[in-house]
Amino acid sequence: MGDFKLSRRRFIKKMAKGASVKIEHLAPLPAEALAKAGALNSEALAKEGALPAEALANASALTTEFTLQGGLDPYQGPWTKAEAAHLLRRTTFGLKQAHLEQMLALGNAAAAVDAVLNVPATPPPPPVNNYDNPAAPYFDPNVPSGQTWVNAAYDVEAEGYRIESWRGWWLNRMIEGEANIQEKMTLFWHNHFATKTEAIFSGKTVYNHNKMLRAHALGNFKAFVKAVTLDPLMLYFLNGYLNNVASPDENYSRELQELFTVGKESANTYSEDDVVVAARILTGWTLNPQTLETIFVQQLHDVGIKVFSPFYNNTILQGSNNGEADLDALLNMIFQKDEVSLFICREIYRFFVYYKIDADVETNVIEPLAQVFRDNNYEIAPVMRALLLSEHFFDAVNKGCQIKTPLDLTVGVLRNYNLSLPSPTLYDQYFIRLSINFFCGGLQMLPGDPPNVAGWPAYRQSPNFYRVWISNDTIRNRNILTDVMAFQGVDVGTEKLIINHIAFAAQFSDPSDPNALIDDMLALLYPMPISVLKKTFLKSILLSGQFSDHYWTDAWNAYINNPGDPMAYQTVLFRLASLHKYVMNLAEYQLI
Amino acid sequence: MTALRDMYNDGLVSVVQNVGYPNQDYSHFRSTDIWMSGADSDQYLETGWAGRYLQSQHPLYPDGYPNPDNPDPLAIQIGPVVSLALMGTTVPVGMGIADPTAFYQFVNDIPEPAPNTPYGQELEFIRLVTQQAQVYYDTVKNAAENGQNLGQYPAQNRLAEQLRIVAQLISGGLKTPIYIVELGGFDTHSEQVDGTFGNAEGAHAYLLKMVSDAIGAFQNDLKLLGVDDRVAGMTFSEFGRTIGSNASIGTDHGAAAPLFVFGKEVIPGIIGDNPVIPSTPLVSYDVDMQHDFRSIYASALKDWFGIANPESILGQTFPILPIFKAGQSGTQVIHKPDVMDVGNYPNPFHGATTFTFTSEGGYVVISLLDMGGRVLQTVAEGSYPSGTHRVTYNRSDLRPGNYFYQVKVNGSTVTKMLVVI
């Protein structure tokens, strides 16, 4: 393994160098652009005396206290933009106008939830060699450019590129995902069964692991746990491949119980001895050093009797020569515990609804949801359907209360504005995906590499939870990202990744009416309505400080009537860009 | 760890042995939270120990901060995120700074109240971080620009780079009382040592060298900057490691580990006993905990931060250890460990030997262990009053060889070797 490691360090260093060049590229905006945008500030407006009295009154009306409604009963209320948008914000990586209209057209919550849970059965086409770089130069000797590498033999020089190719492939799946839960569900399980790419320096292994997560994402949880237990990446990451009868390694056994199934959230839980005993059952599964595929070596397997604690009803498992049967027996024992369903339902809740689980939520949502899980023999889809369709999920109190993860924000900007990543050449494609992934890493979320086996702290670290995403440092970088997307853009080879402000506005019902435009835009970009006061200010950006709507209407119509006129184009573009920058700089944009 | 050794020889290091907490929870995440919050093993605290200290000094924070009396961040963690240790009553009492010279102009928001809902609460939180970031950025950037480093720092050392920033900010006049830096990678379940070059090489040795080099460079810089009498440092990790090697030439999570406190104002020396390590330990053999980690927190709070009653921050009373010079001049009682002066005579023995120990009183368990750390027999168990005690042990059937015995009083344990002939 020594060679792997050295080479990996070298690779990371190389990549870090490349990435830092690119991240500097995402530097703050030119000072003038910022100054211009910032000049439109609230004090200036307030001085003009433009704030109507009723707007101020409305602002304070926002302090109404909400009370929690409903449990798992299906939501029967009206099916409006607000509900459709909420469902998509929580199940995809950023709301698109087309998806919003699609959901709205389904007419009711049940149809929309079914649509969201209807994920394509066929796996997506695998990642390809897009890392051959004519300039570096690097060429994968075993995989032609544009062909998939996932079946290629292990190649220490290529694996680092393949891993980044895979990571970029996954990122792009999130960016291009349709209006269904597939990508978010995959990330949920990645966070739950957390692994790191650097554990095993093999692109094929991380790709296959991800494929396995996708295959089980809405399937049977017990079969899922078994697949994860025998997955090569997991076997490597938590040292299962070294766990043997002579020298048991308790690493996977502990996490199997603490993080993957029963949890450790209550005092009544497995014992330290259970960790040791379960580790013995898991012995014998190791990796073929050539293929890095999972194999069972009977001589390494502990066939002795295993006795568990009272938590597992003092279960005695007689070991055998059949490692798979022994594993099944262990999982059967673990899945006897209701703690499994409760623990997983809490995890799902924290990921898709909110991080606070008080006694009411535990009683009215978690417990019945866990019952659904058990009644359906640990099938995941019925649990997701029950939760997403519930009164509780659509309750006003649960809207807009998630802080966007770095992926929600980064991928979300692109999706909100209907952007795809340009790829004038395959290597450009590789590089822009890599740059965005590393930028996300700077915001503390690199897909494929959560900080440790517990996943990202935002889903477990009480009392802060989602708030760990937001520090003075990350909030600044979040702002820089959206500023760059609004104004400067990022060069991708011969093309540029930048918001198309005019196309974005043009997709709405009546972009010439500044009130309708702002309403439509905010329904997409903000999770909750904002005060009239704030809306008035946003409109003033479009009106450049004038007070009559027709200034914008005239400007928009001048452009529509003569799109080739650079002056008309610039007039509309700068106002929209300033508005979008401002909208994305406010705290509201950080919430879903 | 030559740099730290040199500091030790110069009287700048206090080593506290076998630090942990009773009923070790071997989970990383839980154990990290326990160390950060200062909780008992079965207690869930949502605030950090340093956060509670700072909040006690600044009860209104974050309302009205920064202000003319407190212009500087109350705590800084080098890096983009802030750990649980700094969590106050409602928000972290500190900020993460990855690059003190970076700057950004946030837009002005329309000041208006947020609704009293989960949405509104998250909104307020983000607004607050944004506003404070703007104000504190100016301060930190000024300090970074006014500050400097006079010493050399080792290259390729993630910890040294963080400590360099801390020294720069201190020299730039920032009056922030607490800084946190972090170095990961110690969870060496595999490849802890280099199988080829022996146990003094490999991942663990490399990490400890990084720690040592970084602290050495930092202390030297502080001295050159003339601020070394105002800075003390403390290391901690969520747990130690087991002693025996597993099949992956690594080790698993252990109950206790040494902890270093350094600076010009510490009392140099070693507090606590050397753990006795079997010559052929079992994989699961664990060093016993002797000092509760909160004893070190309590000592720092009392003798460094000058808090008269550390129990108000920690929720319980913990023995104050003789770590800081400031503690010596006061009237405080130097804590006696729960058990000391452990011995047996004769040793080696055949037939019978007599164990002796001195304690402040409490529940005592004396056990005999084999070289793998397995308990063979309980020699004595029961409540003993304060004082020196003798327990005679008669076992002529013991096979000749090396054994351990452990004397456990309350939470403290001393392990020693005995030889049967």
* Domain residue ranges in chain A: 502-590
pLDDT value at residue B398? 83
User: Who wins on pLDDT, B94 or B314?
Assistant: B314
Q: Out of A54-63, A288-297, B315-324, which region has the weakest mean confidence (pLDDT)?
A: A54-63
Contact A525, A585 (CB under 8 A): no
Contact B119 A401 (CB under 8 A): yes
Pick from B182, B180, B178: nearest CA to B231:
B178
User: Who wins on pLDDT, B131 or A109?
Assistant: A109
List, for residues B136-164, the tens digit of each pLDDT value: 888 898 899 999 999 999 999 999 999 99
Q: In whole angstroms, how far apart are CA B296 and each of A282, B176, B217, B228, B234?
A: 40, 21, 24, 20, 9
**Chain B partners within 8 Å of A20 (Cβ):** none
Angle at CA of residue A127, ends A125 and A129, nearest 5°: 135
Q: Which helix (H) or strand (E) holds B340?
A: strand B339-345
**Chain B partners within 8 Å of A28 (Cβ):** 104
Q: Tell whether the model's pLDDT for residue B329 goes beyond 60.
A: no
Residue type, B59: P
d(CA B25, CA B238): 10
Per-residue pLDDT, averaged over A242-250, amounts to 91
d(CA A389, CA A359): 21
User: Who wins on pLDDT, B398 or A110?
Assistant: A110
User: How many other CB atoms are there within 10 angstroms of residue B382's CB atom?
Assistant: 9
pLDDT value at residue B374? 76
Residue B335: band (very low, low, confident or very high) from pLDDT cuts 50, 70, 90:
very low
What CATH number has the domain spanning B2-329? 3.40.720
Q: Which CATH class is domain B339-420?
A: mainly beta
d(CA B327, CA B321): 9
pLDDT value at residue B91? 75
Chain B nearest C-alpha distance from A474 (Å): 6
Pick from A514, A521, A562: nearest CA to A540:
A514
Most A CBs within 10 A among B31, B128, B130, B188, hence the mutation to make, goes to B130
pLDDT value at residue A545? 74
Residue A252: band (very low, low, confident or very high) from pLDDT cuts 50, 70, 90:
very high
**Chain A partners within 8 Å of B87 (Cβ):** 463-464
Nearest by CB to residue A62, choosing from B42, B95, B115, is: B115
Contact A242 B248 (CB under 8 A): yes
**Chain A partners within 8 Å of B82 (Cβ):** 471
Nearest by CB to residue A38, choosing from B105, B118, B123, is: B105
Chain B nearest C-alpha distance from A145 (Å): 35
Nearest by CB to residue B190, choosing from A239, A356, A471, is: A239
Q: B192: burial class by Cβ within 10 Å (0-12, 13-18, 19+)?
A: buried
pTM above 0.80, yes or no: no
Contact A42 B111 (CB under 8 A): yes
**Chain B partners within 8 Å of A34 (Cβ):** 105
Chain B nearest C-alpha distance from A350 (Å): 13
Chain A nearest C-alpha distance from B271 (Å): 30
Q: Tell whether the model's pLDDT for residue A498 goes beyond 90.
A: yes
Average pLDDT, chain B: 86
* DSSP string computed for A13-34: HHHHHHHHHHHHHTPPPPHHHH
Q: Tell whether the model's pLDDT for residue A4 goes beyond 90.
A: no
d(CA B236, CA B197): 28
A17 inside 8 A of chain B by CB: no
d(CA B178, CA B216): 19
A42 inside 8 A of chain B by CB: yes
Chain A nearest C-alpha distance from B10 (Å): 36
Pick from A430, A433, A537: nearest CA to A56:
A537
Nearest by CB to residue B123, choosing from A460, A480, A587, is: A587
pLDDT value at residue A40? 31
A28 inside 8 A of chain B by CB: yes
**Chain A partners within 8 Å of B110 (Cβ):** 42, 533-534, 537
Domain ranges of chain B: 2-329, 339-420
User: How many other CB atoms are there within 10 angstroms of residue A122's CB atom?
Assistant: 5
Chain B nearest C-alpha distance from A533 (Å): 8
Q: Tell whether the model's pLDDT for residue B133 goes beyond 90.
A: no
List, for residues B33-92, the tens digit of each pLDDT value: 899 999 998 888 888 999 999 999 988 887 778 888 888 999 999 977 778 899 888 778
Contact A591 B123 (CB under 8 A): yes
Six-digit token string for A483: 């500023």
Interchain CB contacts (distance < 8 Å): A and B? 174
Residues for chain B: how many in total?
421
Q: If you ran DSSP here, which 8-state letter would residue A522 be given?
A: H
pLDDT value at residue A493? 93
Per-residue pLDDT, averaged over A4-31, amounts to 33
Sheet containing B339-345, strands listed edge to edge, beginning at the edge strand earlier in sequence: B339-345, B351-359, B387-395
Please count the CA atoms within 13 angstroms of the CA of B206 that sit on its side-chain side.
16
SS3 A438: helix
* DSSP string computed for B355-417: EEEEESSEEEEEEEE-TTS-EEEEEEEEEE-SEEEEEEEEETTSPSEEEEEEEEETTEEEEEE
Chain centroid to CA A316: 41
Q: Tell whether the model's pLDDT for residue A558 goes beyond 80.
A: yes
Q: Tell whether the model's pLDDT for residue A37 goes beyond 60.
A: no
User: Who wins on pLDDT, A167 or B399?
Assistant: A167
Pick from A478, A506, A517: nearest CA to A563:
A506
User: How many other CB atoms are there within 10 angstroms of residue A107's CB atom?
Assistant: 10
pLDDT value at residue A137? 79
Q: Tell whether the model's pLDDT for residue A38 goes beyond 50.
A: no
Average pLDDT, chain A: 88
pLDDT value at residue B369? 83
User: How many other CB atoms are there within 10 angstroms of residue B383's CB atom?
Assistant: 8
pLDDT value at residue B270? 92
pLDDT value at residue B418? 84
d(CA A248, CA A258): 18
Q: A192 φ, ψ to 5°?
A: -70, -55
Per-residue pLDDT, averaged over B305-312, amounts to 92
List, for residues B260-300, the tens digit of each pLDDT value: 999 999 999 999 888 878 777 777 778 888 999 999 999 99
Alpha-helical (H) ranges within A93-242 are 97-105, 109-117, 156-176, 182-192, 203-216, 221-229, 232-237
Most A CBs within 10 A among B47, B72, B104, B286, hence the mutation to make, goes to B104
Share of chain A above pLDDT 70, in %: 88
Q: A138 φ, ψ to 5°?
A: -135, 130
Q: With the CA atoms of A512, A513, A516 and A519 taken in that order, what torsion angle do they form, in degrees rounded to the nearest 10?
A: 90
Pick from A450, A14, A460: nearest CA to A199:
A450
Q: A220 φ, ψ to 5°?
A: -90, 125
Pick from A352, A363, A465, A345: nearest CA to A399:
A352
Q: Tell whether the model's pLDDT for residue A580 goes beyond 60.
A: yes
Which chain B residue shows the shortest CA-CA distance from A534?
B110
Q: Tell whether the model's pLDDT for residue A27 goes beyond 60.
A: no
pLDDT value at residue B337? 57
User: Who wins on pLDDT, B319 or B402?
Assistant: B319
pLDDT value at residue A35? 32
A246 inside 8 A of chain B by CB: yes
Nearest by CB to residue A249, choosing from B99, B105, B247, is: B247
Per-residue pLDDT, averaged over A519-547, amounts to 92
Nearest by CB to residue B42, choosing from A63, A267, A527, is: A267
Chain A nearest C-alpha distance from B114 (Å): 6
Helix, strand and coil content of chain B, in percent to the nearest 5, comes to: 30, 25, 45
Chain B nearest C-alpha distance from A274 (Å): 13
Match 């000072």 to its residue by tokens: A31
Q: Tell whether the model's pLDDT for residue A48 goes beyond 60.
A: no
Chain A nearest C-alpha distance from B37 (Å): 11
pLDDT value at residue A68? 54
Pick from B174, B166, B113: nearest CA to B138:
B174
Residue A494: band (very low, low, confident or very high) from pLDDT cuts 50, 70, 90:
very high
List, for residues B179-195, the tens digit of each pLDDT value: 999 998 888 777 788 76
Q: Tell whether the model's pLDDT for residue A105 goes beyond 60.
A: yes
Per-residue pLDDT, averaged over A219-246, amounts to 96
Residue A7 neighbours by CB under 8 Å, 6+ apart: A156, A157, A160, A201
Nearest by CB to residue A354, choosing from B112, B118, B129, is: B118
